[in-house]
Structure 1
Amino acid sequence: MKSSRRKFIQSATAATAGVLATSCTPQKAPVEDAAASEDSKSPSPIRHNPIGVSTYSFWQFNGPKENVSIESCIEKAAAMGFDGIELLLVQMTSEENSYLQALKKRAFHSGLDLCGFSTHQGYLRPDKDYRDENIKKTIHQIELAYKLGIPTMRLNTGRWGTTKSFDELMANRGIEPVIEGYTEEEGFKWVIDSITQCLSKAEECGVVLGLENHWGLGRTAAGVKRIVDEIDSPWLKVTLDTGNFLEDPYQQLESLASDTFLMQAKTYYGEGKWYTLDLDYARIGEIMRNHNYKGYISLEFEGKEDPDIAIPKSLELLRKSFYYLID
């Protein structure tokens, strides 16, 4: 029995050695093929920017916000293939911590980053009590962003309030008269002083404030840049909106690109609610690459087409347009 088993092992070992010897014999052609195969598997020299979508895109203030819940926006964004979602504060139905944590949990389980927090406030008033109230409001919003685990929050300068309605403001291309008896220079002082008072809370919570080009003193890139440069804080950067420059958009986007912490990209399928911009996203993508922007692009769909149709088309457009070279 032992002799038979010994012979079997010897013959099996010899056979295995023969296979290994054959398989390990150098062959020129296969080596060349392997090298070609390795080249084909080498990493791409580019990486795409992560693309998020604002919950605003699904709602656009059309009807009661309860009709388009944040929860439903999260589920749709995940199903459409987005990387993240930007929450619009006024669309949320509560500020209770249990609600905030439920949203954070839902987004994580859906595979989405909470990539931005879009809020409203304003400091463009001579009334100090008004400004103080908005400073307090902003600090509260920063704390909400912290509870949600969101790293950046959209900030506004506010508007002068001399235009009766937003529709009228849009009809006037965002241009609004200064409050009678005051100057734009005073307005800059109010805004800079107010934002400065919010920065210690932003640093404490790890939430970068992104001043948006969003009417008021933020209507132009020069206005946004003046405020950001004068404050000169790592906790104040720019939320750059592609759709809020109605004159010389590419030049103005370029001037703020290096300070951008989050980009909001508007599309207008089915024509815009207030206006339609024919934006060249290939060109905008190149501008951002030139400034080494690697952060999130957050879609703000502002057209009249069905969002369930237009938002996936917008995602495809942004995926093609925004990428950067790997270091």
Structure 2
Amino acid sequence: MDKKRRDLLRSLALAPILLGSPSLFASPLIKTLAPSRLQYSINAFTFNSLLRSGEMTFFDMMEFASMLGLNAVDLTGYYFSDYPKIPDDKTLFQLKKKALQLGLNISWTGVRNNFVNHDKTSRESDIELIKNWLQVSSKLGASIMRIFAGNGKHEGYSRDEVKKWMVSDFQECAKYAEETGVIVAMQHHNDFLYEADEVIDILKRVDSEWFGLILDIGSLRIGDPYKEIQKLAPYANYWFIKELVYVNGIAEPVNMKKIARILKDANYTGYISFESLTDGDPKQIVTSMFNDFRTEYEKL
């Protein structure tokens, strides 16, 4: 090997050291150099009544997602028949195999929990539930699992006191999330954390790369939702796109052009999931949302 070739190979080998090796998990606040590469999913709650009645299965949902041209599906825990018990491996692996056959990822799972509850025993039970379903998520190959802040009365306790134990509970979940390789992420749900600044405060206090944010555009109902969404965008690990937003608490159809612009400006490179909550044919509604969003995004 001549000297010039040896020098070239040596320079390539040293490049990551000289430039500084990137962290495996980059902060959501650090903009990637790569162009935005969106991936599209659909959330199971879109088919809530159909899944609960047995008229539709996860397999049916996957086939619809594949036909529409989506990249993934969100499989919510409470549509498994034995929830909150964890499904057996055979059930999970059949879903995983079906996703592979259809060219889909199972990107997301989710459970219900309530960390607003002042009853510590109840919260500990919810933490155990989350830990169990993080194992399920890992077996399915999901990268992220949704949890909530929670809701309900907290008489005798201030909001600051609730936030203190909530942060501690989230931190415990994040530690276990690291062990399973699945990010545990809070979906703000217009239940206890109502404004973007509150959500950001919780994220900063938990302070874990294994605790993330699922940005729900339909759950910001104080003031201008687009300004609130813009605040949260740099922190988002996953997005929920819905057909309605709330301007000063009043519902109106989402402006896909504005949402597309926020995503583009944030240079977001992950999944966005479509979720329909209104009456009508959910397949038609999601198809319309997907096409409308993609049209606006591709114009930018």
Whether TM-score is above 0.5 comes out as yes
Q: In the alignment, is the contact (CA less than 8 A) between 2:52 and 2:79 conserved in 1?
A: no
Structure 1 residues 156-235: aligned runs within 5 Å:
156-160=148-152, 162=153, 179-235=154-210
- Matching residue's letter, 1:92: F
Residue 253 of structure 1 corresponds to which residue in structure 2? 229
Pick one of 85, 100, 120 that aligns with 1:128: 120
How far the C-alpha of 1:181 sits from its partner, in A, is 1.4
Kindly report which structure 2 residues correspond to 1:1-327, keeping only aligned pairs within 5 A, or say none: 49-57=38-46, 59-61=47-49, 64-94=52-82, 95-160=87-152, 162=153, 179-247=154-222, 248-267=224-243, 276-322=251-297
Partner of 1:168: none
Query: What letter matches 1:256 in structure 2?
Result: L
- SS state at 1:158 partner: coil
Equivalent-residue separation in structure 2 for 1:323 and 1:197 (angstroms): 40
- Superposition TM-score, scaled by structure 1 size: 0.74
Deviation per CA, 1:142-196, whole angstroms, max 9, x where unpaired? 1111011100111201102x4xxxxxxxxxxxxxxxx221110111011101111
Task: Report the number of matched residues.
Answer: 258
Which structure has the bigger radius of gyration? 1
| Unpaired segments ≥5 residues, structure 2 | 1-33
Report if the CA contact (8 A) 1:48-1:324 is conserved: no
**In the superposition, relative to structure 1, how do residues 101 and 62 fare at CA in structure 2: closer, same or farther (>3 Å)?**
closer
Cα distance in 2 for residues equivalent to 1:288 and 1:47: 9
The answer as to whether partners of 2:73 and 2:105 remain within 8 angstroms in 1 is yes
Letter in 2 for 1:49: L
Instruction: Classify the secondary structure of the residue corresponding to 1:217.
Output: coil
Q: Give how far 1:49 is off.
A: 1.3
Distance in 2 between the 1:285 and 1:80 partners? 19
Structure 1 residues 208 and 321, CA gap change in structure 2 (3 angstroms)? farther
After superposition, give the CA deviation of every residue in 1:51-105 in whole Å (9 maximum; x if it has no partner): 1111221x23467342221111111111121111111111122511110111111
Cα gap change, 1:324/1:223 in structure 2, threshold over 3 Å: closer, same or farther?
farther
User: Gaps (5+ residues) in structure 1?
Assistant: 1-44, 163-178, 269-273
Distance 1:316 1:114 in 2: 21
d(CA) in 1 for partners of 2:215, 2:285:
22
Please list the CA deviations of residues 247-287 of structure 1 after superposition, one character each: whole Å capped at 9, or x if unmatched: 2211111111111000010125xxxxx98432212111211
Asked whether the 8 Å contact 1:123–1:158 carries over to 2, the reply is yes
Cα distance in 2 for residues equivalent to 1:61 and 1:220: 30
Tell me, yes or no, if the aligned pair for 1:46 and 1:324 is still in contact at 8 Å: no
Structure 2 vs 1, CA of residues 232 and 151 (structure 1 numbering), >3 Å: closer, same or farther? Answer: same
Distance 1:228 1:46, change over 3 A: closer
SS at match of 1:132: helix
Quickly say closer, same or farther: Cα 1:198–1:122, change in 2 above 3 A.
same
How large is the Cα RMSD of the aligned pairs?
A: 2.2
Instruction: For residue 138 of structure 1, report the CA deviation from its aligned partner.
Output: 0.9
Which amino acid in structure 1 is aligned with residue 264 of structure 2? Answer: R
Residue 128 (structure 1) shift: 1.0
TM-score of the pair, normalised by structure 2:
0.80
In structure 2, what residue type is equivalent to 1:117?
T
